[in-house]
Amino acid sequence: MNDFTNFRAIYDELTEDVTRAQHPFAPDHLRNWFHHLDSTPQVSAIVGTLEDGLDIDGWMSKAKETKKLDWGEDREKALGTKLLLFRAFASTKENIGLLAFHFLRERNVNDGTRRFVEQVFSPMSRELRRLLDQRLNETAPAPASDRTVTIDHNRKDYADAERAMQGLETAIREANDFPDPLEKEQREAEVSAARRLLRASLVRLEPLVALLKPILVQYTTKVKDGLIAAAALATVTALTVLLGQIFKAMLG
């Protein structure tokens, strides 16, 4: 899943608040719970799909007439109906205590609220959480290694990055103190290849990072002095501006 860790933590807290609420406070806690769902765009879209097209008023009339809570066979429609029922409680359009008396024969409104929440809301909230995890994982962004970025070659950011990489390539080529001549030739060729990659309109980050990581890591974390080190640092800075923090993160 895209990082919904914070959403889950708040969801669990608000769910617990509902399960502990006495009758007078249940609508307020339910409103907080639904606000959390509705104010998170991807979650709101999923919940909206579950609720779409369902007639909660008609369902309630039938339930009161038959004295039976018939959720139906379709699991997602059943989940949507339960969500709409608790929205009705949240808005005080329906009274959870009275409904508990009607279906559970519980005269004490606090006990009735608690029992109805235990029997309907708690399983519903767990089922919704599992569904959200599944759906949000299905639409999670690609791993960093699979990321493709669009390059606008008319932007100053691109010109700065190209200038920095050209400077790095020149610094490597003109260096007289590079430890190994063969490695020097290899690093120069890798920077040159990376520059060619950036001339495309769509660039995969994985091969770009693979080409540049050896020289950039070596000269920004280990060998911090000299022209190559300065050029490497300038390249990291410019490419981070152009490609985003994901580039810097992939360097390690």
- pLDDT tens by residue, 102-138: 887 878 888 889 999 999 999 999 999 999 988 877 6
DSSP 16-79: HHHHH--GGGHHHHHHHHHHHHHTSHHHHHHHHHHHTT--HHHHHHHHHHHT-----S-HHHHH
Nearest to 215 by CA among 161, 159, 171: 171
- 0.75 exceeded by pTM: no
Percent of the chain with pLDDT over 70: 93
- Model confidence at 146, pLDDT cuts 50, 70, 90, reads low
What average pLDDT does this structure show over 184-195? 94
Q: Report the chain's terminal Cα–Cα distance, integer Å.
A: 22
**pLDDT beyond 80 at 242:** yes
Round to whole Å and give the CA distance between 196 and 186: 15
What average pLDDT does this structure show over 29-35? 96
Q: What is the mean pLDDT of the chain?
A: 88
Task: Please check whether residue 174 is in contact with residue 80, taking contact to mean a CB–CB distance below 8 angstroms.
Answer: no
Percent of the chain with pLDDT over 90: 59
What average pLDDT does this structure show over 57-63? 93
Q: What is the pLDDT of residue 1?
A: 41
What average pLDDT does this structure show over 40-44? 89
Amino acid sitting at position 134: Q
> Judging by beta carbons within 10 Å of its beta carbon (0-12, 13-18, 19+), is residue 169 exposed, middle or buried?
buried
> Judging by beta carbons within 10 Å of its beta carbon (0-12, 13-18, 19+), is residue 175 exposed, middle or buried?
middle
Whether the CA torsion 139, 144, 146, 147 is positive or negative: it is positive
- Model confidence at 98, pLDDT cuts 50, 70, 90, reads confident
- Model confidence at 232, pLDDT cuts 50, 70, 90, reads very high
Round to whole Å and give the CA distance between 163 and 166: 5
Q: What is the pLDDT of residue 223?
A: 65
- Model confidence at 142, pLDDT cuts 50, 70, 90, reads low
- The first and second tokens of residue 94, run together, are 């329906």
Residue 202: phi, psi to the nearest 5?
A: -120, 130
Round to whole Å and give the CA distance between 45 and 47: 6
Amino acid sitting at position 33: W
Nearest to 204 by CA among 137, 237, 250: 250
At CA 123, angle to CA 37 and CA 26, rounded to 5? 60
What average pLDDT does this structure show over 139-149? 63
Round to whole Å and give the CA distance between 252 and 247: 9
